[in-house]
Amino acid sequence: MRYLSQVSLAEAVGCVRSTFPVPERNERLPLLRSVGRVTAVPVYAPYAVPPVHTASMDGIAVKSAETVGASDQRPVLLLHAVRVNTGNAVPGGYDAVILIEDVWTDGKEYRIRKPAGPMQHIRPAGEDIRAGGMALPAGHRIRPFDIGALATYGITEVRVRSVRAALIPTGSELISPGTPPKPGQVVESNTVMTAAFLEERGVDCVRYPITPDEPDLIRAAIEKAVGECDLVIVSAGSSAGTRDYTAAVIDELGEVLVHGIAIKPGKPAIIGSIAEKPVLGLPGYPLSAQTILRSVIAPLLDEWGFRGREEVRLPVVLARTLTSDIGFDEFVLHTVGRIGDRYVATPQSRGAGVQMASVRANAVVLVPAQTEGFDAGETVEVSLTADMASVEATLLLTGSHDPALDECANLAMARGIRAVSSNVGNRGGILAIRRDICHAAPLHLPGGGGDVGGTVAAALRGLPLAVVTVAGMPIGLVSREGAGDRNGLRFINRQRGSEMRAFIDTYLAGKDGEPAGMNVVEQEAQSHLAIAAAVRDGAADTGITSLAAASSCGLAFEQVGTERYVLVIREEHLDEPRVAALVQTVMSEEFTAALNRIGCYDTAATGTIVHVPAEKNDRMEKRS
């Protein structure tokens, strides 16, 4: 037993592939339910197809020997002839069909002027398959069109290989999906996700009840699972903490082959063997669990013939520098979109608990163990997690996120585009435009004017831009209800260098340079929501943020200004059909209606476009 002595991913995969023989289990399935499954035994045709010689044209069946010598000069009167249509059986002793238009007949006698070759216009008996012929060998993965052949051959059920997987969720903090978690509770979703992943490959999954972190209960669950199933997956308890009993229990019942794999996320995984069956420990964090499913459990299932969708790989340009620890194979989720003729990959959050990262991602970048990372602009090959059509439909929106963007993305789907936002703040958005690694940068710009703000304009000088207004947003002072007057209130500011900080500083300066009766706290917040959350949670008593953020945290709001939420787009991309569809979405009445339903947005300027030429930051044109 190697306890947290990490092995490499390659070693772990080699271990699962070579250790566990294909389970003997198989089952009979109705034909239509067998698609994607692998035959356990060969399938033989019980009869020949076609069962007899069959006419492949309309005409008369003849004995070819009687037609020898027929010509225009010497027509032959046939001794034997039978009228047949396409698909009719050719009677015994007949071995050719002559097209009806090549026959002279009075309805009783048939004359021909050309000899018929043997088997002419006949589908011979057994042309498709002979009686007893092998239609499928054992080990064949059944495709939809194979189903047609089997149905034709009279097969209505197929015996296929089968695997039953036990999924055991462990953890005293877990609750079943569907109940809102109380503080400290966690919804048990790992076995749900695992079931979805395995069932797509034709594995039958049995989800066991949630087992608390008690060694006796975990032991009982694993023993039962090993008795009932071919593969046991224990979710969590796989680290080396005081409440992590999975490895100890496996070691007691069988053998721990691997504890700890040098991958990120997903390091605390376990490969164990009990009664020659694989017992695998999945890390608790969802994205760590995903890595183990994709990188360790999938190769085992491939080996067993339970394959998933074909992996599609694509060379992409990295939007951002990717650093990684030497010694770990690290998998980083990215969203890939095509900008011009390059595929650009934008990283998603690397937090092991941020499942929206995998929802937004359509690709995984592997930083191999011997590599420290990749530089922005490098080309690497990614493995796609969505189909190519979805990648082609993807627009990268990189900048400052806002719920308005979700509504826009939702409506844009109906126009065939998939707008995926990457929340890196205004600064990140401006940089992405400058480096041409996004389709549009959503930015929060304080002030009500129609042009881009001063700092943004300065940062992007030299680039012809289009600025599309998404919405106006009231911003103001927030406070908890009943938080008293302003004397002694703790004020939380935005981070230095941000457009909102400049706005707030100007606002405070207008109030004589110091917030009247307010103390500015040292902590600075990175976003509207962070300001509102800090006030809600009591880390501060007031701050300046958006009405939307204030509402979402149940705070009192006193408007002091307006902010515009805009999409900044390089002018050169504006006519690209997908970018044009995004802009049309923002201009659409449905989008305005959606924003008005949410409230908190001023939609008066929604959909207006300002074109900013390369050397000028003034408004040039306005249309809506």
Q: Which of 60, 395, 433, 534 binds its own copies (CB under 8 A)?
A: 534
156 is a contact residue toward its own copies (CB under 8 A): yes
Q: Mark residues 157-196: x for contact with its own copies by CB under 8 A, - for none.
A: ----------------x---xxxxxxxx-xxxxx-xx-xx
Distance CA(78)–CA(76), nearest Å, equals 6
Structure-block tokens of residue 175: 């609750």
Q: Which of 238, 290, 546, 588 binds its own copies (CB under 8 A)?
A: 290
Angle between the N-to-C axes of helices 246-253 and 215-228, in degrees from 0 to 180, rounded to the nearest 10: 50
127 is a contact residue toward its own copies (CB under 8 A): yes
Bridge partner residues of 308 (DSSP): none
Distance CA(472)–CA(446), nearest Å, equals 9
82 is a contact residue toward its own copies (CB under 8 A): no
Residue 129 or 460: the one with the smaller Cβ distance to its own copies is: 129
Distance CA(582)–CA(584), nearest Å, equals 5
Instruction: For the segment 30-69, give every residue that binds its own copies (CB under 8 A).
Output: 31-32, 35-36, 42, 46-47, 49-53, 63-65, 68
Give the residue from 281, 234, 233, 231 showing the smallest Cα distance to 257. 281
145 is a contact residue toward its own copies (CB under 8 A): yes
CB 404 within 8 A of CB 376: no
Q: How many CB atoms lie within 10 A of CB 136?
A: 21
Query: From the CB of 446, what's the least distance to its own copies, in Å?
Result: 22
107 is a contact residue toward its own copies (CB under 8 A): no
CB 268 within 8 A of CB 276: no
99 is a contact residue toward its own copies (CB under 8 A): no
Q: Which of 363, 529, 579, 582 binds its own copies (CB under 8 A)?
A: 529
In this structure, the strands spanning 76-77 and 174-175 are: unpaired
Q: Which of 14, 75, 87, 517 binds its own copies (CB under 8 A)?
A: 87
H or E element in which residue 190 lies? helix 190-199
Residue 108 or 182: the one with the smaller Cβ distance to its own copies is: 182
240 is a contact residue toward its own copies (CB under 8 A): no
Q: Which of 11, 102, 109, 200 binds its own copies (CB under 8 A)?
A: 200
Q: Which of 125, 300, 441, 555 binds its own copies (CB under 8 A)?
A: 125
Query: From the CB of 321, what's the least distance to its own copies, in Å?
Result: 23
Q: Of 4-12, 75-83, 218-226, 301-309, which segment contacts its own copies by CB under 8 A?
A: 301-309
Query: From the CB of 595, what's the least distance to its own copies, in Å?
Result: 13
Residue 145 or 575: the one with the smaller Cβ distance to its own copies is: 145
CB 231 within 8 A of CB 194: no
Query: From the CB of 350, what's the least distance to its own copies, in Å?
Result: 12
Exposure of 196 in the CB half-sphere (CA atoms within 13 A) = 5
- Count the site residues for its own copies by CB under 8 A: 117
481 is a contact residue toward its own copies (CB under 8 A): no
Residue 185 or 624: the one with the smaller Cβ distance to its own copies is: 185
Exposure of 525 in the CB half-sphere (CA atoms within 13 A) = 23
144 is a contact residue toward its own copies (CB under 8 A): yes
Instruction: For the segment 323-362, give every residue that binds its own copies (CB under 8 A).
Output: 351, 353-356, 358-359
Structure-block tokens of residue 470: 């998404």
Bridge partner residues of 342 (DSSP): 339
Q: Mark residues 409-448: x for contact with its own copies by CB under 8 A, - for none.
A: xx-xxx---x------------------------------
Please provide the distance, in angstroms rounded to a whole number, between the alpha carbons at the two ends of the chain. 69
Q: Which of 2, 28, 114, 130 binds its own copies (CB under 8 A)?
A: 130
CB 531 within 8 A of CB 574: no
251 is a contact residue toward its own copies (CB under 8 A): no
Distance CA(332)–CA(284), nearest Å, equals 18
483 is a contact residue toward its own copies (CB under 8 A): no
Residue 210 or 465: the one with the smaller Cβ distance to its own copies is: 210
Query: From the CB of 412, what's the least distance to its own copies, in Å?
Result: 8
CB 97 within 8 A of CB 57: yes
Distance CA(150)–CA(509), nearest Å, equals 81
Distance CA(469)–CA(531), nearest Å, equals 24
CB 69 within 8 A of CB 98: no
Distance CA(10)–CA(14), nearest Å, equals 6
CB 318 within 8 A of CB 345: yes
370 is a contact residue toward its own copies (CB under 8 A): no
Residue 433 or 540: the one with the smaller Cβ distance to its own copies is: 540
315 is a contact residue toward its own copies (CB under 8 A): no
CB 544 within 8 A of CB 507: yes
21 is a contact residue toward its own copies (CB under 8 A): no
**DSSP class of 1:** -
Q: Of 86-94, 102-110, 268-276, 499-507, which segment contacts its own copies by CB under 8 A?
A: 86-94
Distance CA(546)–CA(157), nearest Å, equals 62
Query: From the CB of 548, what's the least distance to its own copies, in Å?
Result: 10
Instruction: For the segment 546-605, give every residue that binds its own copies (CB under 8 A).
Output: 552
Residue 141 or 224: the one with the smaller Cβ distance to its own copies is: 141
Residue 107 or 184: the one with the smaller Cβ distance to its own copies is: 184
Residue 42 or 377: the one with the smaller Cβ distance to its own copies is: 42
93 is a contact residue toward its own copies (CB under 8 A): yes
Distance CA(237)–CA(244), nearest Å, equals 4
Residue type, 77: L
Q: Of 154-162, 208-216, 555-563, 579-587, which segment contacts its own copies by CB under 8 A?
A: 154-162
114 is a contact residue toward its own copies (CB under 8 A): no
Residue type, 570: R
Q: How many CB atoms lie within 10 A of CB 432?
A: 25
Angle between the N-to-C axes of helices 589-598 and 403-413, in degrees from 0 to 180, rounded to the nearest 10: 140
Residue 257 or 504: the one with the smaller Cβ distance to its own copies is: 504
Query: From the CB of 341, what's the least distance to its own copies, in Å?
Result: 19
